[in-house]
Amino acid sequence: MTAVYQIDLTRRAARDLRKIQRGDPKLYGQIIHAIQALSTDPYPDGHVDLGGREGYRIRVRDHRILYSVEDHRLIVEVARVGPRGDVYK
């Protein structure tokens, strides 16, 4: 049986998603799909450890989803969502 992780969004991530939804609904749908997929596989193919900071990232087109995983509590926290150049600031 596969564990299902709870997805939590930070306030910043929720704000990022609202901005994307207004600007590009198709991209928003793709990002939401990728975030939902983290609930069953928080370490998908293509995920990258952030190295200098805690967490991981996945790509959706030219956007990045930054998140952390608490395996012992089965929680994935999405911290930021945005274009590659802006999301790491």
- Assess if residue 1 is contained within a domain: no
For the chain, percent of residues with pLDDT exceeding 70: 99
> In which domain, by residue range, is 13 found?
6-87
- Assess if residue 33 is contained within a domain: yes
- Assess if residue 29 is contained within a domain: yes
- Assess if residue 18 is contained within a domain: yes
- Assess if residue 52 is contained within a domain: yes
Strand arrangement of the beta sheet that strand 56-60 belongs to? 6-9, 75-83, 63-70, 56-60, 48-49
pLDDT recorded at residue 1: 55
Length of the chain measured in residues: 89
pLDDT in tens, 27-55: 999 999 999 999 999 999 999 999 888 99
Angle between helices 25-37 and 11-23 (to 10 degrees): 140
Q: What is the CATH number of the domain that holds 22?
A: 3.30.2310.20
- Assess if residue 14 is contained within a domain: yes
* 58 neighbors 65 (Cβ within 8 angstroms): yes
- Residue 15 clears pLDDT 80, i.e. is over it: yes
Domain count, the chain: 1
